[in-house]
A and B are shown apart, each in its own frame.
Chain A
């Protein structure tokens, strides 16, 4: 039993069909718990008032926006090295989800920034890197949709994902260098003294877990759709030949 068995589309479909209802149920449970707890059962911050509650959407979606790209990078590498179709399709399926998380992070950040910093947008390193990440997602999705042959598209987007990751990291540090920002530093690290207080931290943790599961659920669903689409195309092609 090795992990590569899941590269077989049939095996993947079977396993994901079994796992999907559980994933959906768990996602809903965690998100409802975390968001309700966060929105209604935590105190207002003494400085920020109720706006602090945006954190329950902002932080998890920002984390997942970056992690989704990392997952696409791994899937792309697997496609390039071992040429498993499921892997390429999973990367394709993850991209719009990641883009959505990026947009959620940007929009909630703007809504939070307006009352707190007095501006919707600032050219802050973190904000700028997210804008650049958003461009990377857009380019990646556009390249997928521009190429007709699925294998060519998978190859080219994988190469783009690899090169893009290097440049995304470069940009991340370049913008740090370029401008000092308004955004606060990391305050959720496990090894730091100054962190968010536990009242906010626990529901946030639940929300983060919920967003991770939401991402997994969506990628599973979308990958299943992609596989079915691929099968449909194969059937149609066979019918045209016959």
Chain B
């Protein structure tokens, strides 16, 4: 499993392109939104939590189809499926690799971009925490969506359509944590629910994704 993780990370870092695109997209969004909305009147600070969460989500969405597509094209996915490693484990590792190259950098980048968006000072810690808790779900749900659409030639659009409603709870709770953090309200409930969704997704979705992959590789 570790070998697979390291291989995926190497491929992601050395092939360039795909995964850097997400970060660049996030950066562009955080620079363009203030220009479009205007910096006066505290509007920016009020919408910052939502913008940052939506940006992180869309940036994640950009690289989802790469989770399985490249391996499917060159046939290494078939080798993975026949290897002694359970496919569920392989799926979980691939989702983890995706998180390490998109979710984690996004989390690290987000507080910096919060400055650009006039995010209220108390919210920075909560922004980072909510992204750490929430982005693994984005990767795991994305891996599930990618597993469903891996056999299709132009699965990208379909993938976004399938994954979009699945992202709703994470987005709501994540943005709610940051909003409450910015206003100094109690935020235990959304934080706990966000963590619960992540843990549930990490525990159960590998099985669903592996089942979908088996069907697609049949």
Interface residues of A (CB under 8 A from B): 132, 135-136, 138-139, 142-143, 146-147, 152, 155-156, 159-160, 162-164, 167-168, 170-171, 174-175, 177-178
Contact = CB atoms under 8 A, between A and B. Distances in A.
A152 B212 CA distance: 9
Interface residues of B, number: 28
B172 A156 contact: no
B165 A159 contact: no
10 contacts: A132-B165, A143-B158, A147-B151, A152-B215, A156-B216, A159-B212, A159-B215, A163-B166, A171-B172, A177-B189
Contact of B148 (A143, A167, A175, A178): A143
Nearest to B141: A167
Among all A-B residue pairs, the 5 with the closest Cβ atoms:
A174-B169, A135-B165, A155-B215, A170-B169, A139-B162
B100 interface: no
Contacts of A174: 168-169, 172-173, 193
B152 interface: yes
A5 B158 CA distance: 36
Given A147-B151, A177-B190, A171 B169 contact: yes
B99 interface: no
Contacts of B165: 132, 135-136, 139, 164, 167-168, 171
B2 to A, nearest CB: 28
Given A152-B218, A164-B166, A171-B169, 17 more contacts: A132-B168, A135-B161, A135-B165, A139-B161, A146-B152, A146-B158, A152-B151, A155-B212, A159-B215, A163-B144, A163-B166, A163-B205, A164-B165, A174-B169, A175-B172, A177-B173, A177-B193
A139 B160 CA distance: 9
Interface of B: 144, 148-149, 151-152, 155, 158, 161-162, 164-166, 168-169, 172-173, 176, 189-190, 193, 197, 205, 208, 211-212, 215-216, 218
B161 A162 contact: no
A177 B194 CA distance: 12
Contacts of B216: 152, 156
Residue from A136, A138, A167 with most neighbouring chain B CB atoms (10 Å): A167
A108 to B, nearest CB: 22
B208 A163 contact: yes
A159 B169 contact: no
A138 B215 contact: no
A68 B218 CA distance: 30
Contacts of A135: 161, 164-165
Nearest to A175: B172
A174 B172 CA distance: 7
B148 A156 contact: yes
B148 A142 contact: no
Nearest to A135: B165
A152 B148 CA distance: 10
B215 A156 contact: yes
